[in-house]
Structure 1
Amino acid sequence: MPKSKRLMELMMTVNRKRRFKVQELADEFGVSKRTILRDLQELSELGVPLYSEVGPHGGYQVLRERVLPPIAFTEGEALSMFFAVHALRHYSSLPFETESASALNKFYLHMPGDIRDRIDSMKDRVDFITPARRGDAPCLSVLLDAAIQGKVLVVQYESKEEGSHNRMIQPVCIYANNGLWYCTAYCFLRRGFRVFRCDRIREASYEATGVEPIELSDIRASRQGAATPREPVRLRAEFTRAGIQRCESELWLAPMLVVREDGSGWIDTEVARSDLPFFTEFFIALGKETVLQEPAELKNSIRQRLAELLERYE
């Protein structure tokens, strides 16, 4: 095997392994230990962050911030990757903000001149619009790390009902929708899943008193709205085709919809009574594209809100 090819495959191999010994690599590549040691030295000089431990149980490992091996992209693939990262600029906060900016610069600077010219001309022709939000979400990285590692956090959360207060949560996932970041988490106070606005989480730290995390490995991002309602009330409503299309753009609502062949549909679910003020505004915004069937208290809330609005225009 040519040395250049061996170094490339060796780079991919050590990035894939957590720990390894020289003899293992020598056996795998069919070369001597001395050759592997020279190859590892060259990889280290190329920027692969290798760490060695001496002793009978020692060996090599690649540090956490690994350098990925070179990947060959076609022109179309490179353009799609560039604009996928470029689209993230609309978000005021990202869990990997510095890294995404760095990746974008590397893509751009290492492309041939003609492809950079094509990117420059495309920037004014294609975009992925996301509503600009003023509030930042400073704890995204901590929330994502806790979700990956299954750890419990203590967060300072600001809500309209309770003001600023502390919550103990175990994040499941974070996701972006309509320009805002949300975190699905198990709430130890409410003893159930809740969805938190990440821009309302002002501080987050790992729980230090020894509270045991619960098993959430079977919970995925598809459970964004999997919160057990407090004081549940039944919500039933019919939607026109246009109403369904507008509802489908709401990530939390789409899984609850039942859609007919003609595009119209309905919803029949339970929601928390404390969420009725939100649903009041939501159904008013839908206008004639929906017919609310129950609960009666939501109907009354909508009538009262509409009456308040009419008074402003008398």
Structure 2
Amino acid sequence: MSKSKRLLDLMMTVNRKRKFTVRELADEFGVSTRTILRDLQELGELGVPLYSEVGPHGGYQVLNERILPPIAFTEEEAVAIFFASHALRHYEYLPFKEASVSALHKFYHYMPGDVRDRIDEMKNRIDFVTPARQAEFPFLSVLLEAAIDQKVLLIGYESRGERSLRPVQPVGIYASNGLWYCPAYCFLRGSIRVFRCDRIDAVKEQASGYEPLDLRRVHLGNRHEYAAEPQAGVQPDGTEAQKSRTKVRLYAELTAAGMQACEAELWAAPLLHSREGGSGWLEGEVPAQDLRFFARFFTGLGNEATVQEPPELVSELKAMLEEMLRKYS
């Protein structure tokens, strides 16, 4: 085996093992321990973060910042990956902002000159526009890690002009129209709720008195199936929790333009139905406490939507429109 191939295989092996001894590697590659030691020194000079421990239980360990083995991309794949990462530049806040910038720089720097020239030409001809926001999202990484590790957080959250402390277990985070959102199981409400991340002003990584739930099967793609289901063994707090679980039937007719507007809303996806010709309707159960939100939304659609149910929402719409008329009369 050539030295270059052995170094490449060794890099992939140490990334896979994470912890190992020189003797283990020497036996696996059929070389002397002295050769393995020289190879490990070369890997360290190449940037593989190795850490050595002495003693009877010592050995080598790869630190968390592992160097991944080389991957061969076609030119089209390389360009696609570059622009997938390049599109994130519009987001001032990302859970991996510095890593994303660093990876993009490395990716661009080591491309052949003609591929870089092609990318430079494409930069001014393709973009993924995201609305600029003044909001700040300082806790994205903490929320994402909590979702992955199944942790309960105590967050400070402002909603409807009131601030409260909420013990929550995040399901994940997602971006929409320049804002970040975090679906999470709220122990006070007894169900999965969606929190706007810019309204989270504090996070404590240990919420005493609350045990994590098993939400491993719940993710961003299927969270709507669990949104109204209180978890066994969890006792939500009183009247507010009961209100958050009260559902009303929503039905609204939509023109083709109304359909397009609703297709841009993540919450509408499970309620949206289409007809031939482009029109459609919204139908399904929604939380009763969110009727004012829906009233504002349908007011923005104007004549592109006609709400038929629930009557409480129709009344809310009338009151909102009358208030607007008084303002401009």
TM-score by length of 2: 0.88
Distance in 1, Cα, partners of 2:297 & 2:158 = 22
Which amino acid counterpart does residue 83 of structure 1 have in structure 2? Answer: F
Match of 2:232 in 1: none
1:224 Cα deviation from its structure 2 partner: 4.5
Cross-structure match for 2:263: 248
Aligned 8 A contact 1:183 1:198 in 2: yes
Whole-Å Cα distance in 2 between the matches of residues 261 and 59 of structure 1? Answer: 67
* Amino acid corresponding to residue 159 of structure 2 in structure 1: S
Partner of 2:285: 270
The CA deviation string for residues 121-179 of structure 1, in whole angstroms up to 9 with x for no partner, is 22211100111111010000110111111111111111115x22211111111111111
Q: Which residue of 1 aligns with 2:200?
A: 201
Over residues 242-295 of structure 1, what are the superposed CA-to-partner deviations in whole Å (9 max), with x where a residue is unaligned?
Answer: 322221211121122233455433333222222111101111222233221211
Question: Counterpart in 1 of 2:4?
Answer: 4
Show the 5 A alignment for 1:106-185: 106-160=106-160, 163-185=162-184
Cα separation, partners in 2 of 1:297 and 1:210, compared to 1, 3 Å: closer
The residue number in structure 1 matching 2:234 is none
Deviation of 1:190 after TM superposition, in Å, equals 1.2
**CA distance in 2: counterparts of 1:239 and 1:119, whole angstroms:** 41
| SS of corresponding position for 2:322 | helix
SS of 1:196's equivalent in the other structure is: strand
Shift of 1:95: 0.5
Judged with a 3 Å threshold, the aligned counterparts in structure 2 of structure 1 residues 191 and 18 are, in CA distance, closer, same or farther, namely farther
Please give the alpha-carbon distance, in whole angstroms, between the structure 1 residues aligned to 2:292 and 2:98.
38
Distance 2:256 2:29 in 1: 61
Contact kept, 8 Å, 2:191 with 2:245, in 1: the verdict is: no
2:248 paired residue number: 233
Q: Which amino acid aligns with 2:266?
A: L
d(CA) in 2 for partners of 1:56 and 1:194? 51
Q: Is the 1:157–1:165 Cα contact (8 Å) retained in structure 2?
A: yes
Matched, 1:42 2:77: no
Gaps of 5+ in 1: none
Moved more, 240-249 or 20-29: 20-29
List structure 1 runs of 4+ shifted beyond 4 angstroms. none
Counterpart contact for 1:224–1:252, Cα < 8 Å: no
Partner of 1:101: 101
Deviation, structure 1 residue 192:
1.4
Q: Which residue of 1 aligns with 2:92?
A: 92
Matched, 1:257 2:272: yes
Q: Tell me which amino acid in the other structure corresponds to 1:272.
A: P
Is contact 2:7–2:39 with CA below 8 Å preserved after alignment?
yes
- In the aligned structure 1, how far is the partner of 2:126 from the partner of 2:251? 40
Query: Which residue number corresponds to residue 83 of structure 2?
Result: 83
Q: CA RMSD in A?
A: 2.0
Q: Is the 8 A contact 2:167 2:207 kept in 1?
A: no
Provide, for residues 40-90 of structure 1, a one-character-per-residue CA deviation record: whole Å limited to 9, x for no partner: 121112111112233443332210111222333333222222221111111
Shift, 1:210, TM fit:
5.8
1:301 aligns with 2:316: yes
Task: State the secondary structure of the residue aligned to 2:172.
Answer: strand
Tell me the equivalent position of 1:221: 220
Q: CA deviation at 1:184?
A: 1.0
Is 1:290 aligned to 2:305, yes or no?
A: yes
8 Å CA contact 1:155, 1:201 repeated in 2:
yes
Q: Which moved more, 1:136-145 or 1:33-42?
A: 33-42
Write the distance in 1 (CA, Å) between the matches of 2:47 and 2:106.
16
User: Post-superposition shift, 1:223?
Assistant: 3.4
Deviates more, 1:189-198 or 1:23-32: 23-32
Identity of aligned pairs, percent?
Answer: 63
Task: Quote the Cα distance in structure 2 between the aligned partners of 1:121 and 1:19.
Answer: 45
Asked if the contact 2:21/2:59 (under 8 Å) is kept, the reply is yes
Please tell me the residue identity of whatever aligns with 1:307.
E
- The amino acid of 1:256's aligned partner reads L
Unaligned 5+ segments in structure 2 are 229-243
Distance 2:307 2:299 in 1: 10
| C-alpha contact 1:168 1:188 (8 A) present in aligned 2 | yes
